[in-house]
Structure 1
Amino acid sequence: MSSYYGDRSHNVPSWESFEAGDDDDIVDTSEYQYASRDHILFCIDASLSMHTPLPDRTNPEGLVRGKSALHQVLEFVADFEKGKVITGPADSVGVVLYNVDTEQLGKKHDKSAGSSISGPGTLVYQSLRMINAEEIKRIIKLVEAVQAEYDAQDGDEDVKTVEPDTLKQEFPARKKAQELNTTEVLRTCNTVFRDAGTKLVGNQRVFLVTDNDEPAGSHTSLNQAQTTYNDLAQLGVAVNTFFIDRPDHRFDPTIFWNTVLGRGEAEDAPKDSAPDQDGLGQLKDIMNDLVVRNAPKRTQFSIPLKFGGKDGDIEIGISGYATVSTQGKGQPKYVRMRGQTVEEVVTKTEYTSAETGAVLPDDEIGQAYQFGNEATVRNVLEPNWWESDEHAAEAQMVADEALRLDMERRRKEEEGEEEDMDKEVRGVMKQVKALEGEEKPKIVARTRLQFTPDEVQQFKSMGLPPQIKILGFQSPRNLKIDENIKHSYFIYPDETAYTGSTRSFAALLKSCLKLDRHALALCRLRTNTQPEFAVLIPQAETFTKDRGQDDPPGFHVIPLPFRDDIRQPPKNMTDNLVATERQAKLMSNVVKRLRFAAGKYRSEAYPNPSLAYHYAQLQSLAFEEDFDPENVQDKTIPKHGGMHKAAGEFMREWNQAIDEDDRCAETMAKGAKRAAVQVDEEDLADVQGSWEKGKLDKLKVQELRDYAKYKKISLEGKSKKADIIDVISEYLEKEGGDKKVKHK
């Protein structure tokens, strides 16, 4: 079999050419650490400065109270957990606050609510575990109580905003001299992750929020802080920091934090960045990003990938993910109400006999396929009647009857009787031969054929196991855009079955990108699918402006069509008018003005309005909130005002160019073009009369064009109304004796 698709097999490179020249390259496999679940621990500084409200400010609507940084962070956490109910219900979230006066808190704190004092100055407000409605409602009620105290201060504009008592009582700040050093804080984070157990498979992150660029013991405990940070890294926990600026002090990470986190100055924010782009703004952006983009990902298949040599000498493990999937409301579950608890109903399916009503075991249930139109076999799951004991007994009975008739015929022949029994004997003998298999009846209808599950699987799979086997490589020039007929999959390395799969996968991807090649493969992705050919398109890793991953590295698996999948498009889809060069240029101006700011369309940023309405109802019910349909926004509605503001002028130019095209006067009827509509002289506007009165500018452009077309006045290259009026005026001046055209 050729390694190339179609008849374009020229310049076929050998397998060895893909391996040459890269022996000394070191492949970085860190980018392939993929996980579909998030486990996030918020580590929040609750010192006195974090409790202090930011300065009040004014806007055209009036006074805006400045909230404290601690209050704003807790708002972000509450909104984040509410969003995770929909986008990541299996994710884990924890909240730890440090620099809390735990001695003052003492026994007054409600430990039954889920909080615990981990050590002096540290409060584990929410343990790191799978999110649940009770803990989310608890933090929501706390934020609402704090917001109510802020709202109560709106009456007097001359009084500065003060910190609500709720936060002071819930998280009293420790004295400046007693604040914790960074080593103790990171150790607490390490302890929380270890206490969560080994079930935290996925991304493990700490979101550390502080406004103190020189914490306690920053000089004496620097080495210990670095060691503790490295311990977290070895555990697989990443630390994301969000540094907040104080009103009178700009946060400087170079004093302490860059050394602990092993960062250089190049990774710091620019010194001249806007003041409002501090940790609070970054935290808000990343919260929105996590809620929008971190939708649940499910592995579609985990199979081996074979490549190299003749029969795939190299075998690694991969996992495949669907690039496009339908998101629905989910299947409701049957539950049984028993007291105050809700128990899920376990469903069980059983098959019973239609005759006796007895439950049929699995070995008495099979599958059969319909073949033909006859249905004379009553029960095809039983042995064939032609091979049964009943058939043998009937055959013996017919044979005995035939023997009796033959003996009777011979007796009558000997006695001289004239009665002819040959015809009757021949009929019986024919039945005997049919029953013995020498001559079967003309109609033998066995229309339902039974196969075992293993036989059916063999028919569908053609004997191939689930795998992706690379047959060869070719240039992207050998592919056509119309050869993509199905949704593609995205494959990633999987170390579960084969150790070293990540490194081999990374080397294969790097080679394909370097040599501008894609792979042709024979794929069978799951046990219930049929083999098909596909191309593996390599994709390089890309990053956002803040160095976050935008596109992951891997291969897109695009199934290729079989011969009978390719059809010629209908004529009414191809016999369309082709835009002129000027029309195409004007439309390109419209498209450029209406492009997305991010450069590409992100479907996850525009949620399904029906699903959003459904989840908003569930959320309000779960959190015991009032549901307001007006708060559910439909982000799929086009912003017509902004579109016309950005490209309205170009839209008008393009519409005018279409109106000027004479081909637009023609219409399509049953695949044939009709003749252009003829204009009668009586239907024309009084152009000459308007010209004599000096009021040509009062007429519509289409009226002027109809007159010019009737009089065969060339308007080639004239698009503006003023230019059309000049041409018609010049014509009327030359034809001074022209008869007036009456307007009716």
Structure 2
Amino acid sequence: MSAYQDWNKLDDDEEDELQDNSAYEGRKDVILFCIDCSPSMLELREDPRYEDVQTCHLFTALEAAIHIQKKKVIVGPNDSVGIMLFNTTRRNEAGGQGADIKKGNYVYQPIDTINAPTIQELMRLIDAAREDPHVLLETFPSLTESRVPTGDVFTSCNWVMRDGAPKTATKRVFLITDEDNPHAGPGKERFITTARTTLMDLVQAGIGVEPFFISTDEKPFDPTKFYSSVLLPTNITDDDGAEGTILPESISITRVDELLAQMSFHEVPKRALFSVPFEFAKGFTIGVKGYGLVTEQKKGSYKYFVDFGDRMEVAVTRTTYVDEEKETEADKERLLYGMELGSTAATEEHAHESADEGGGPARTVPVNSRVFYTLGEVRSFRTMGLKPTIKLLGFKDRSELAFEDNVKHSLFIYPDEMSYSGSKRTFTALLRTMLRKKKIGLVLSVVRRNASPIFCALLPQKEKTEESGWHEPPGFHLIPLPFADDIRAAPIEETVRASDELKDAARKWVDKLTVKNGAYAPDAFPNPALSYHNAQLEASAFREEFDPTSFEDPTEPKYDRMHQRAGALMRSWKEALLQDEAAHTSIVTAGSKRKADTSVDEAEIRSKHEHGMLTKLRVDQLKDFLKSKSLSVSGKKAELAERVGEWLDSHQ
């Protein structure tokens, strides 16, 4: 182990949790589409995208399910998806999956790992429904006399998840309906109580419900009529038993074509990156969960496959250490870690022999000096013996947190009531007090077992709700604070300033091209290179021809619209810029002298040695080569050249 980085790097098997998402890459995601089949969902209406074409809400929901599954073929091939329809008279076949669910519910697509044949079967149904709008009505006839109780729908979802979803997966139900008051008649309170009770069973089983409410001009959706009393609130309240009125990520879709966009936004599960105790003082601790708000989406990692002739299976890679003498796997508990400095320290006898032969002296280990450490000791060097926790150190004024202090993207923490009872109430009290007094917190955080302790700023955030349904949740931003050597002073160079008239002329066309409301939606502009790559993989998976000319890049600037909006203003600004004398003035600065490159590669040195011209090299070049080979650099030039020649002769 010649380098410090190698010595300080632990095995991958030892849960190296320094990466934010490393512990969650292997966790599967399960989505069950729970779609309403009531008469209003099957009612034919004009398609907003195509002329003289009729569609329905059920068609749009199934089409959105296809897009989500096709996307998961690329980004989550190990995930599972299922489709269950309710308020339909169609029943499951006896003995098949879903045969024992509640009456009025039908499992069209059992929960299974994403695969192309299942998606293609659904695509054929959608293609048939596009040609004949009555296909869906005939395939999934609606209940006309009554509606399935919402509690039975949640119970059926629980049973379907129980039979098909892995226990350790992230399980969610996408509830799609356009009926805001499914039980308007007598006994409504009983239906609400039953639905809320069965929903609690879903939550206790680790299943979340994300609703997608379809609202139209003819039939607006009012969640307060029924679903506000059923679905669980997510607002932080002082009283844990208080009834909230805020739905979990509730979405009221005003246009049906927005369904796919909203589903794509919620397709990625919200997984906590860590769950640690938050210590206020000794004996005063609450639980918090941490989430990453900014994550780069990358291409999927490639895999190795083994060809067995009749089938292909994924090869599982594993790193092991082998004892060369016994030719058996070494016991990890007996492995030691250390650094190699200079020549390899053998025995004292070998060291004297090396010195007598004129070679570089080998490093000897003094008595009672430890140079090798166990895995636990190496980990303690990194963590300083601290367990994963967030410890509150004190408070400062909000004004003392500078912009340049944010050198890494922050994490967002939220109370975890399941770890410590009363965490939500205590967390809320601290949040409100810090917001009122305009304070920030200073904490010492260790969020992973193998992470180094860092000092962080605790920035409070107040909940904000917008008309579009998007809202900023209440909580704290955990901002890693830089050390003294993490910040460099920016060089300040003298330059020419533009005149006020030139600034005003530029401000006019900049204002014309500014994003409306100053809000940039990153979900509306995906990475074009990643989207192009995924589109090719998707076409290959479904054996379709990929047309590169059909790919659209939403990040490409709309030059025609830009010139139409601000072309005249930009031309006038350019004319003013050409007439401004300051634009043609440049300040001459003295260039910095670069240090000469003294390094030479091994091939050149070996060539010099073969021609007997090692002495033609400079002393610094000889020393650099000896350092790279962990050899001694002491002595005169002739000794250095001789030492280099001996090494080259022994390493032909």
TM-score where L is the length of structure 1: 0.61
Q: Are 1:225 and 2:191 matched, yes or no?
A: yes
SS in 2 for 1:306: strand
Cα shift readout 1:381-424 (whole Å, capped 9, x = no counterpart): xxxx59xxx99xx9xxxxxxxxxxxxxxxxxxxxxxxxxxxxxx
Q: Within 2, Cα distance between the matches of 1:565 and 1:245?
A: 54
Which residue in the other structure is 2:427 paired with?
505
Q: 1:516 to 1:529 in 2, by over 3 A?
A: same
Q: Within 2, Cα distance between the matches of 1:363 and 1:253?
A: 62
Among 35, 45, 60, which residue is 2:37 paired with? 45
Is the 1:298–1:321 contact (alpha carbons within 8 Å) kept by the matching residues of 2?
yes
Which residue in the other structure is 1:73 paired with?
61
Match runs of 1:230-629 below 5 Å: 230-235=196-201, 236=203, 238=209, 240=211, 242=213, 250-251=218-219, 259-261=225-227, 281-292=254-265, 294-308=267-281, 312-338=282-308, 340-352=310-322, 359-362=329-332, 365-371=335-341, 373=342, 375=343, 377-378=345-346, 385=348, 445-446=363-364, 449-548=371-470, 550-571=471-492, 574-597=493-516, 599-629=518-548
SS in 2 for 1:456: helix
Match runs of 1:82-101 below 5 Å: 82-85=70-73, 93-101=81-89
Between stretches 66-75 and 552-561, larger displacement belongs to 66-75
Among 42, 45, 64, which residue is 2:52 paired with? 64
Cα shift readout 1:174-214 (whole Å, capped 9, x = no counterpart): 5x4xx33252x541342222442294876744524247x88
Q: 1:356 to 1:126 in 2, by over 3 A?
A: closer
Which residue in the other structure is 2:140 paired with?
171
Q: 1:591 to 1:90 in 2, by over 3 A?
A: farther
Which residue in the other structure is 1:145 paired with?
128
Which residue in the other structure is 1:192 paired with?
157
Letter in 2 for 1:453: L
Is the 2:290–2:414 contact (alpha carbons within 8 Å) kept by the matching residues of 1?
yes
Q: 1:635 to 1:666 in 2, by over 3 A?
A: same
Letter in 2 for 1:334: Y
Is the 1:243–1:251 contact (alpha carbons within 8 Å) kept by the matching residues of 2?
no
Deviation at 1:288, TM superposition (A): 0.8
Is the 1:116–1:125 contact (alpha carbons within 8 Å) kept by the matching residues of 2?
no
Among 129, 147, 154, which residue is 1:181 paired with? 147
Q: Within 1, Cα distance between the matches of 2:36 and 2:581?
A: 69
Deviation at 1:473, TM superposition (A): 0.9
Q: 1:592 to 1:470 in 2, by over 3 A?
A: farther
Deviation at 1:45, TM superposition (A): 1.9
Q: How many pairs are equivalent?
A: 526
Q: 1:191 to 1:585 in 2, by over 3 A?
A: same
Q: Within 2, Cα distance between the matches of 1:359 and 1:524?
A: 33
Q: Within 1, Cα distance between the matches of 2:88 and 2:79?
A: 27
Which residue in the other structure is 2:569 paired with?
650
Which residue in the other structure is 2:647 paired with?
none
Q: 1:568 to 1:501 in 2, by over 3 A?
A: same
Q: 1:515 to 1:262 in 2, by over 3 A?
A: same
Q: Within 2, Cα distance between the matches of 1:491 and 1:121?
A: 41
Deviation at 1:281, TM superposition (A): 4.8
Cα shift readout 1:533-563 (whole Å, capped 9, x = no counterpart): 2211112222231334x32322222222222
Deviation at 1:632, TM superposition (A): 2.9
Is the 2:151–2:191 contact (alpha carbons within 8 Å) kept by the matching residues of 1?
yes
SS in 2 for 1:538: strand
Q: 1:662 to 1:139 in 2, by over 3 A?
A: same
SS in 1 for 2:441: strand
Letter in 2 for 1:192: C
Match runs of 1:125-136 below 5 Å: 125-127=108-110, 131-136=114-119
Q: Within 2, Cα distance between the matches of 1:38 and 1:514?
A: 41
Deviation at 1:517, TM superposition (A): 0.8
Match runs of 1:661-700 below 5 Å: 661-670=580-589
Q: 1:76 to 1:360 in 2, by over 3 A?
A: closer
Q: 1:547 to 1:605 in 2, by over 3 A?
A: closer
Deviation at 1:485, TM superposition (A): 2.1
Is the 2:335–2:374 contact (alpha carbons within 8 Å) kept by the matching residues of 1?
no
Letter in 1 for 2:65: V
Q: Within 1, Cα distance between the matches of 2:228 and 2:270?
A: 32
Deviation at 1:143, TM superposition (A): 0.5
Is the 2:45–2:55 contact (alpha carbons within 8 Å) kept by the matching residues of 1?
yes
**Identity among equivalent pairs (%):** 30
Cα shift readout 1:354-402 (whole Å, capped 9, x = no counterpart): 677565443554222133x4x26227xxxxx59xxx99xx9xxxxxxxx
Q: Within 2, Cα distance between the matches of 1:504 and 1:131?
A: 42
Q: Give unpaired runs (5+ residues) of structure 1.
A: 1-34, 151-162, 265-277, 380-384, 395-441, 673-744
Deviation at 1:142, TM superposition (A): 0.8
TM-score where L is the length of structure 2: 0.69
Q: Within 2, Cα distance between the matches of 1:220 and 1:561?
A: 63
Q: Within 2, Cα distance between the matches of 1:195 and 1:314?
A: 42
Which residue in the other structure is 1:726 paired with?
none
Deviation at 1:86, TM superposition (A): 5.0
Is the 1:87–1:291 contact (alpha carbons within 8 Å) kept by the matching residues of 2?
no
Q: Are 1:124 and 2:107 matched, yes or no?
A: yes
Q: Within 1, Cα distance between the matches of 2:469 and 2:296?
A: 30
Is the 1:87–1:295 contact (alpha carbons within 8 Å) kept by the matching residues of 2?
no
Is the 1:476–1:516 contact (alpha carbons within 8 Å) kept by the matching residues of 2?
yes
Is the 1:204–1:238 contact (alpha carbons within 8 Å) kept by the matching residues of 2?
yes
Q: Within 1, Cα distance between the matches of 2:220 and 2:521?
A: 35
Q: 1:556 to 1:187 in 2, by over 3 A?
A: same
| CA root-mean-square deviation | 4.1
Match runs of 1:2-13 below 5 Å: none
Deviation at 1:74, TM superposition (A): 2.5
Letter in 2 for 1:541: E
Cα shift readout 1:122-144 (whole Å, capped 9, x = no counterpart): 42213456655443332122102
